[in-house]
Amino acid sequence: MSIELIVVLLVAPLVGFLINGLFGKWLKGSEKLSGWIGALAVLVSLVCSIIVFASLHGGAAPFDETLYEWITGESFAFNIGFHVDALTAVMLLVITGVGFLIHVYSIGYMHGDEGYTRYFAYLNLFVFAMLILVLGNNYLMMFVGWEGVGLCSYLLIGFWYDKQSATDAGKKAFIMNRIGDFGFLLGMFTLFAAFGTLDFGTIFDAAEADNFQKVFGASTLVIATLLLFVGAIGKSAQIPLYVWLPDAMEGPTPVSALIHAATMVTAGVYMIARSAVLYEIAHTGQVVAWIGVLTAFFAATIALTQNDIKRILAYSTVSQLGYMFVGVGVGAYASGIFHLVTHAFFKGLMFLTAGSVMHAMANELDMRKMGGLKSKMPITHWTFLVGALAIAGFPFLSGFWSKDEILHSAWGSSPIIYGIGLVTAFLTAFYMFRLIFVTFYGESRVDSEVASHLHESPPVMWVPLAILAIPSALIGLLLGWGGHDSWFHHFTKSVFPDAHHDASGNVIVFMVISSVVGLAGIAFAWRRYSKRVPSDEPTGALHRLLTNKYYVDEVYNTLIVQPVKNGSQFLLWKLVDNGIIDGIVNGVAALIRFVGGLLRRLQTGLVQAYIISMVLGIVLFLAYYLFFT
Amino acid sequence: MALEYYLVLSALLFTTGVIGVLIRRNAIIIFMCIELMLNAANLAFVAISRSLGEATGQVFVFFVMTVAAAEVAIGLAIIVSVFKHRQTINVDEVNSLKG
Amino acid sequence: MNPEQILFILFGAVSLIGAIAVISFRHPIYSALSLIVTFFAQAGLFVLLGAHFVAAAQVIVYAGAIMVLFLFVIMLLNLGTLSVKGAMGSKLKGFAIILGILFAAEGIYIAVKAMNDTAVAAAEPATEAVTITTYQIGELLFSKYLLPFEVTSLILLAALIGVIVLVKRESQEEN
């Protein structure tokens, strides 16, 4: 492993971005070329990632090197430096692997779109920013990537910028992320104040040496880690900042798959896993775990009643991210990251299949208008089924392994968290199979006009689906066999501090419980929805509450958005801006105009008036000179 | 003959010129008054020159005359131009500078 | 009273009356003629002061050349008298005259004061003043004041060109 390899890995998507971004105008004629340039750029990164992974797997030492000094001051220095260890390698494989397949899929999905080259430019820029996020060896570089992916997320959610709802969703995501990023920034400042550097290695070593009580005393790390977690809450859509993610489904579906399911939203999980040492010392993992499990449960209940397939997947993502936070929160960092990996595959897969359904259904998203798609779109159906089984925890599929590990670790930490997690697992299986039964089975409720050209998607779209389906199904078995003793745990063991919550109880028992719960959810969904369609009108108060997503958006709107708007309009705009600032500006102008009006009378235009004043001046001057000096 | 009589006479002539500039509205007469003032200054120059026994004062008179000649040529040309434009040389009516 | 004093009073009175006449006549042609009288009287004063060269120049340049120019312009424009009414009312006229009197008073005060106590009075020769010859003027003009002399010639050249430009443009506009 050499620094050149890392640079190539990092820069390839940037080159793709520059080609598509700068010369997109000339590529418009041949949109295939533009798409393949984007995909090729990520493929180069993928190959490099595989080399990196292979070398680490072969026993190479973690790589940490500085490329050059970025900002240097008397007492501080920030470097562009890379840190590559097992955790980075896993993230690299997820980002570039899933990213590459989604690029290929997009070539077909975005066919004929007005902003084709712009789309691939943004997508490549996103991959570049995400790579910076995971490759950096200090918090500042992580923050650069963190902001970069936020920007690309904003650009891609609002990709169809002539649609009001899309631009609104983009702004919502951006503002919600800003709130989180503010916390992240404060966390960075705290760390810098305490350690005088932002380098991972230096900070972690100093923290372990108890050398951190400089800013807030013993609670320095508690405050720093909680502030960093605020950043993660924003980026990874946890309570209370999760509301942007369901709205982010306004963007193109492959974007939802890549950014809002597989990679960007997991940045928070990655950040906590990377900072595991700090969270261990500060004992703030419990907060993380609780926020995670509550989000998981909360989002799963909302997903029960939604009818928009992409929104169900979005709430499901929020819910699964909650699981990941439970994992890293209870100290099972490897399990959290393991769930991140499996989730990236099966959730990416499900988003892409949802995109395939949309593609065939003329952008219809309401599953009440679908039904019976199984026969028309067999590949889409089977791949979706694989993803759904995986997320539902069907035995031996990937979600089963990762979720089970997290729940097992949670039991060791707090049985309550375990209980809520288990209920959430049941809900997850239920709403996923509700989606499957309503969409793919039963009577067809498709409009006759749409039904006439209902078809399976082209190969450029279904091939990535098929390829993604394989790891979605099997990766858990391959990497996770053996639970806490699995290959994945061995591979990442060097990165994380030893889990101090010893897994208690028999692993097999937990596996059986999880499986039973998952299967129960599937069965329950089959009983309820295999023959029936969700009713249009909510029945009962609870149902109405869930359909309206607990009115969280409305509450935020009333408590925060409207007061800010009113304050801006009446206080800041009408009073401060119009009254005071404009008043001062206009007042100065009016004063000068008034004085000018007075002075103007002196300019009579009569030569003799001027001469008289001149002579008067001479007379007065002479008088002063002669009689007063 | 004492110098002061010449200086007083010079002052009176100069003042006459100033009053003329102030009260007359005919541009040509205003111009003549300026010549009057220049001449009054010349008188003072020559008187002091004689009183000091210095030739310098008369050299200055020579310069003043030259400049006055140039000034008259230009000034009259301007008056002619103004008259062609406005059909008047009344300085009260030439008031484009009015603010 | 010696002849010099009589001549001073005569020339001084004529020049002052001529000056007042310049600003009093309504018609500019009378003003111009009065101005010529004043110039001649001043030339006499210059002769009294022993400045013969200046007196000659006064007659030739002022009374001869400059006043001829004035008369030419007056006749060319054929103005007649201007109407008495104007924006400058009589109140300003009164104010202007008061200003002028104050101005004259100050000037006379300076003259008298200067005679009484300054270096000019001290430097005054006791009896007969020296007559300045044309030779002395010429010597100064072409030695000490050579540069101003040359500059003056440039000013005359500039005036010459300026007048041509002014008048020529007018004729073009008329066409």
Distance CA A88, CA A52 (A): 10
**Chain A to chain C Cβ contacts (< 8 Å):** 31
pLDDT of C127 strictly over 50? no
The pair phi, psi for residue A103, each rounded to 5°, is -60, -45
Measured between its terminal Cα atoms, the distance across chain A in Å is 93
pLDDT tens per residue, range A466-522: 988 998 888 888 888 876 778 888 888 888 876 555 556 677 888 888 889 989 999
Q: Give the 3-state secondary structure of residue A79.
A: strand
User: What is the reported pTM?
Assistant: 0.70
Of the residues A603, A608, A625, the best mutation for testing chain C's interface (the one with the most C CB atoms within 10 Å of its CB) is: A608
Looking at beta carbons, which residues of chain A come within 8 Å of C97? none
A27-31, A328-332, A357-361, C62-66: least confidently modelled range: A27-31
Inter-chain CB proximity B22 and A607 less than 8 Å = no
Distance CA A303, CA A322 (A): 14
Pairing of strands A63-72, A77-84: antiparallel
* A window 593-622, beta carbon within 8 A of C: 604, 606, 608-609, 612, 615-616, 618-619, 622
Is residue C29 within 8 Å of C9, Cβ to Cβ? no
Of the residues A622, A624, A626, the best mutation for testing chain C's interface (the one with the most C CB atoms within 10 Å of its CB) is: A622
Distance CA A9, CA A337 (A): 22
pLDDT of A317 strictly over 90? yes
What's the ipTM?
Answer: 0.90
Q: What is the pLDDT of residue A98?
A: 92
Any long-range contacts for C117-120 (C-beta under 8 Å, 24+ apart)?
Answer: C120/B3, C120/B48, C120/B51, C120/B52
- Rounded to the nearest 10 degrees, the angle between the axes of helix B27-52 and helix B3-23 is 170
Q: What is the pLDDT of residue C126?
A: 44
User: Which subunits sit against B, judged by 3+ Cβ pairs under 8 A?
Assistant: A, C
Find tokens 């002399």 and name the residue: C149
Q: What is the pLDDT of residue A620?
A: 92
Greatest Cα pair distance, chain B, in angstroms, is 52
pLDDT of A339 strictly over 50? yes
Inter-chain CB proximity C156 and B78 less than 8 Å = no
Inter-chain CB proximity C82 and B25 less than 8 Å = yes
Token digits for A160?
Answer: 């169809």
Report residue A470 CA to chain centroid gap.
25
Looking at beta carbons, which residues of chain B come within 8 Å of A602? 99
Q: What is the pLDDT of residue C123?
A: 55
Question: Percent helix, strand and coil across chain A, each rounded to 5?
Answer: 75, 5, 20
The DSSP output letter for B30 is: H
Which residue of chain A comes nearest to B26, CA vs CA?
Answer: A608
Whether C140 contacts chain B with CB within 8 A: yes
* Residue in A612, A618, A623 closest to C96 by CB: A612
DSSP output for A585-596:
HHHHHHHHHHHH
Whether C96 contacts chain A with CB within 8 A: yes
Q: Give the 3-state secondary structure of residue A63.
A: strand
Q: What is the pLDDT of residue A275?
A: 92
Please report which confidence band the pLDDT of residue A446 belongs to, taking 50, 70 and 90 as the band edges. confident
Please report which confidence band the pLDDT of residue C89 belongs to, taking 50, 70 and 90 as the band edges. low
Looking at beta carbons, which residues of chain B come within 8 Å of C104? 11-12, 14-15
Which residue of chain B comes nearest to A601, CA vs CA?
Answer: B99
pLDDT of C174 strictly over 90? no
Find tokens 């490329």 and name the residue: A67
* Residue in A600, A608, A611 closest to B99 by CB: A600
Q: What is the pLDDT of residue A62?
A: 87
pLDDT tens per residue, range A229-261: 999 999 999 988 999 999 999 889 999 999 999
Is residue A317 within 8 Å of A276, Cβ to Cβ? no
Looking at the complex, report in whole angstroms how far the Cα of residue C96 sits from the nearest Cα belonging to chain A: 7
Q: What is the pLDDT of residue C87?
A: 47
Looking at beta carbons, which residues of chain C come within 8 Å of A626? 106, 109-110, 113
Distance CA A191, CA A226 (A): 12
Q: What is the pLDDT of residue A495?
A: 84
Inter-chain CB proximity C19 and B84 less than 8 Å = no
Inter-chain CB proximity A615 and B96 less than 8 Å = no
Distances (CA, A) of A20 to A115, A116, A117: 11, 9, 6
pLDDT tens per residue, range A98-129: 999 999 999 888 888 888 889 999 999 999 99
Distance CA A402, CA A475 (A): 10
Looking at beta carbons, which residues of chain B come within 8 Å of C129? 50-51, 53
Looking at the complex, report in whole angstroms how far the Cα of residue C113 sits from the nearest Cα belonging to chain A: 10
Q: Which residues of chain B have pLDDT under 50?
A: none
pLDDT higher for A578 or C91?
A: A578
Mean pLDDT to the nearest integer, A382-400: 90
Looking at the complex, report in whole angstroms how far the Cα of residue A607 sits from the nearest Cα belonging to chain B: 7
Question: What is chain A's mean pLDDT, rounded?
Answer: 88
Neighbours of A176 (CB within 10 A): 24
Is residue A118 within 8 Å of A134, Cβ to Cβ? no
Question: What is chain C's mean pLDDT, rounded?
Answer: 82
Please report which confidence band the pLDDT of residue A538 belongs to, taking 50, 70 and 90 as the band edges. confident
Token digits for C69?
Answer: 């120019």
Any residues with CB less than 8 A from the CB of C155 and at least 6 apart, and which? B66, B67, B70
Looking at beta carbons, which residues of chain A come within 8 Å of B22? 608, 611-612, 615
Inter-chain CB proximity C109 and A626 less than 8 Å = yes
Distance CA A484, CA A493 (A): 11
* Residue in B36, B67, B81 closest to C38 by CB: B36
* Alpha helices, DSSP H, located in A28-85: 31-57
Token digits for B50?
Answer: 């004689």
Looking at the complex, report in whole angstroms how far the Cα of residue B64 sits from the nearest Cα belonging to chain A: 21
Looking at beta carbons, which residues of chain C come within 8 Å of A621? none
Any residues with CB less than 8 A from the CB of A244 and at least 6 apart, and which? A169, A172, A173, A175, A176, A177, A237
Q: What is the pLDDT of residue A132?
A: 94
Looking at beta carbons, which residues of chain C come within 8 Å of B68? 62, 66
pLDDT tens per residue, range A174-190: 999 999 999 999 999 99
A17-21, A73-77, A438-442: least confidently modelled range: A73-77
pLDDT of C142 strictly over 50? yes
Find tokens 């007018």 and name the residue: C170
Distances (CA, A) of A31 to A27, A98, A465, A520, C62: 6, 22, 22, 47, 93
pLDDT tens per residue, range A400-440: 888 888 888 888 888 899 999 999 999 999 999 999 988 88
Inter-chain CB proximity C96 and B51 less than 8 Å = no
pLDDT tens per residue, range A543-557: 888 888 888 888 888
Please provide the CATH number assigned to the domain covering C1-83: 1.20.120.1200
Q: What is the pLDDT of residue A454?
A: 80
Please report which confidence band the pLDDT of residue A353 belongs to, taking 50, 70 and 90 as the band edges. very high
Distance CA B58, CA C52 (A): 10
Q: Give the 3-state secondary structure of residue A74.
A: coil
Inter-chain CB proximity A608 and C92 less than 8 Å = yes
